[in-house]
Amino acid sequence: MSTKPRVDSAIPGAPAEFGSVMMHTPDVLGRFGELYASFWQQGIVSQEIKEMTRIRNARITDCGF
């Protein structure tokens, strides 16, 4: 369940992590953020259920995040 980034940070001097690596594609990162915010903040399904399914998905896919 490694969380070590394989791509360098796009921001000079900043450590490599999800955000700084995704800054290699800033347009994608920006639109992902907008979608992600809407997904979590809006809709009929509660945030509690979304969080439970997110955690379960992470276990199944062996995601370190």
Partner 1 sequence: MRSTDLMSGPFGLLLAQQPKGGSSAVSDPNTTDLNKKYRALLDAILGSESVPQRVLLLCYQRIRQIHGLAVQNISVKEADALNRQAMSEFETGEQLALAAAEKIPYQHHELDDDEVERIKAHFGSDGSVSLLTALAFFDVSCRLDLTFTTTET
Positions that interact with partner 1 (CB under 8 A): 6-8, 10, 21-22, 24-25, 27-28, 30-32, 34-35, 38-39, 42-44, 61-62
Q: How far is the CB of 55 from partner 1 (least distance, A)?
A: 18
d(CA 13, CA 15): 7
The Cβ of residue 11 has, within 10 Å, a number of other Cβ atoms equal to: 14
d(CA 24, CA 28): 9
Closer Cβ to partner 1, 14 or 28, answer by number: 28
Closer Cβ to partner 1, 32 or 50, answer by number: 32
